[in-house]
Amino acid sequence: MSLKKELSYGLDPLQEALDAGKVEKIWVRTDKLEKVKELINKIEKTRPIPTVAVPKEFFPEKEWVGFLPSEVEYLGWDELKYVGDPLIVIDGVTDATNLGTIFRSAVAFSAPNVLLDLHNTGAITPKVVEVSRGAALKCNVWRLNIKQVIPRLKEKGFSIIAMDAHEGEAVYNYDLSGPIALVIGSEDKGIRKTVMALCDSSANIPTDFESLNVHVALSIALYEIKRQRVFKSGSNIC
Whether residues 110 and 30 fall in one domain: no
62 shares its domain with 87: no
Which pLDDT value is given to residue 41? 87
Which residue type is seen at 138? K
Q: Give the pLDDT of residue 210.
A: 73
Domain-located, residue 2 = no
Q: Is 170 helix (H, G, I), strand (E, B) or coil?
A: strand
Domains contained in the chain, number: 2
In which domain, by residue range, is 174 found? 77-233
Per-residue model confidence (pLDDT) at position 1: 30
- Pairing relationship of beta strands 87-91 and 180-185 according to DSSP bridges: parallel
Is the same domain home to 111 and 89?
A: yes
Residue 42 resides in a domain: yes
Check whether residue 194 and residue 120 sit in a common domain. Answer: yes
How far apart are alpha carbons 30 and 53 in whole angstroms? 5
The answer on 170 and 114 residing in a single domain is: yes
* Position 176 in a domain: yes
Does the residue 1 lie in any domain? no
| pTM, 2 dp | 0.83
Nearest to 133 by CA among 220, 9, 40, 42: 9
Q: What is the C-alpha to C-alpha distance for residues 203 and 201, in angstroms, rounded to an integer?
A: 7
16 Cβ neighbours under 8 A, 6+ residues apart: 133, 134, 135, 137, 138
Q: Are residues 65 and 89 in the same domain?
A: no
The tally of CA atoms less than 13 A away on the side-chain side of residue 185 is: 19
pLDDT of residue 74: 94
Q: What does the pLDDT profile of the chain (238 residues) look like in tens digits?
A: 334 457 899 999 999 899 888 899 999 999 999 999 989 888 877 778 899 999 988 888 889 999 998 888 899 999 999 999 999 999 999 999 999 999 999 999 999 999 999 999 999 999 999 999 999 999 999 999 999 999 999 999 999 999 987 778 999 999 999 999 999 998 888 899 999 999 999 999 988 887 788 999 999 999 999 999 997 766 665 5
User: Is residue 212 assigned to a domain?
Assistant: yes
- Domain with 118 in it: what CATH number? 3.40.1280.10
Q: Say yes or no: 183 and 130 in one domain.
A: yes
The three-class DSSP label of residue 227 is helix
194 located within any domain: yes
Q: 219 and 101 in one domain?
A: yes
* Gap between the Cα atoms of 34 and 13, Å rounded: 18
* Same domain as 146, residue 50: no
Contacts 24+ apart (CB under 8 A), 169-173: 169/201, 169/202, 169/203, 169/204, 170/203, 170/204, 170/205, 170/206, 171/203, 171/204, 171/205, 171/220, 171/221, 171/224, 172/224
